[in-house]
Chain A
Amino acid sequence: MKTVDHVQAEELFSSYWDEDLDPETQKALEEHLKTCLVCRREYQAFETTVRSVEGLHKMSAPGHLAEGVKDRIRKRSKGRFFAPRKLSERVPYEVVSLLMLGLLLAVYVVLQLAQPAQLRLP
């Protein structure tokens, strides 16, 4: 049966944690950890360390990161890429059409109100 000593045991901690050991070596390490208090404590410290790193919460990118990237590309490409969008690209055509219709209606109403009242012919 395969056995491991203290030095070998420590060398196997990562592979054991990552489930990357062949069954025979894994069994040998587990047997050693059962009987060796020092190695068992070392492995527990190792395990706690790796769990701590795995447990670091995931940082979120700041909300303006993408805008910052586009700014950089725009500056370095001298405006060739990610140039500010024209008004016609930012505002939908439907909205522009409605606004124009509204404006025309307003002009018509104003002109109608501005005309003097017409006399009715008998």
Chain B
Amino acid sequence: MTLRERILVERVQKHRDEKAFEEIMRMYQHKVYNLVYRMIGNADEAEEIAQEVFVTVWKAIDGFRGDAKFSTWLYRISANHCKNRMKYLGRRSYNATGELNEATEREAASAAPTSLRPHVDGPEAVLEGIELERAVQDGIAQLDEDHRALVVLRDVEDLSYEEIAKVTGLELGTVKSRLHRARLQLKDFLARLLK
């Protein structure tokens, strides 16, 4: 945990400092939203859940003891909120049409090129990028809650195995084996889609 984070967290814990909490939100809102969005797959739901994550942080921050990174604690809250929501909504949480909403498509189209995107930027290339993103997101959505969390934490958020173990409460070996199963499921899903 950085010194700045420690100071902000202590200010919120000791004085319920609203400015400090606002700064914490500014620091982490994109990470939280990205994690939640990739687990839930729907922008409106993701916004709702991301807001609830920070409400929980405000209410439960006295329980953060500082023995782990603040981000680890935050990810744990985010993942738990997502899992609870997924259980409530069912396995797939898309809107009725099953499509990414307009805001997401705009973001996807304007995002920096990834290694899988075609090098030539034109309308067709942008469309391919959006379709690939949609296919991958569909693949993540068909995983169960636990597998989904592991793929998103590792391959989207780039957490180490040890951090994922702390976030999920799983043993390190279990994290590795379940992550592997999840990746294989995703591989098979994409292979069927491309056939």
Contact A58 B191 (CB under 8 A): no
Asked whether B136 is an interface residue with its Cβ less than 8 Å from the other chain, the reply is yes
- A66 and B34 in contact (CB under 8 A), knowing A15-B176, A51-B115, A55-B116? no
- Knowing A46-B184, A51-B115 are in contact, say whether A61-B50 is a contact too (CB < 8 A): yes
Q: Which of B38, B47, B55 contacts A56 (CB 8 A)?
A: B38
- Residues of A at the B interface (CB closer than 8 Å) are 10-11, 13-15, 18, 20, 45-46, 48-62, 65-66, 68-70, 72-73, 76, 81-82
Candidates B26, B133, B179, B187; contact of A66 at CB < 8 Å: B26
A109 to B186, CA, bound (A): 78
Place the interface of chain B in its size category: 35 or more
Q: Are A69 and B176 neighbours in the complex by a CB distance under 8 Å?
A: no
The listed residue (A20, A46, A72) touching B55 by CB distance below 8 A is A72
Would you call A57 and B111 a contact (CB within 8 A)? yes
B184, A57: Cβ atoms under 8 Å?
Answer: no
CA A15 to CA B183, docked complex, whole Å = 12
With A45-B187, A51-B116, A52-B136 already in contact, the answer to whether A81 and B180 are too (CB < 8 A) is no
Chain B positions 134-181 with a Cβ under 8 Å from a chain A Cβ:
135-137, 139-140, 151, 155-156, 158, 161, 176, 179-180
* Contact call A54/B187, Cβ cutoff below 8 A: no
Determine the distance from Cα of A114 to Cα of B115 in the docked complex, in whole angstroms: 77
Are B54 and A53 closer than 8 Å at their CB atoms? no
Q: Is the CB of A57 within 8 A of B108?
A: yes
Decide: A54 and B155 in contact? CB cutoff 8 A.
Answer: yes
Q: Does B51 contact A (CB under 8 A)?
A: yes
Closest chain A residue to B44, Cβ basis: A62
Task: Given contacts A46-B187, A65-B33, list 14 more A-B pairs with CB under 8 A.
Answer: A13-B184, A46-B184, A49-B183, A52-B132, A53-B156, A55-B116, A56-B38, A57-B112, A59-B104, A59-B107, A65-B29, A66-B29, A68-B51, A81-B18
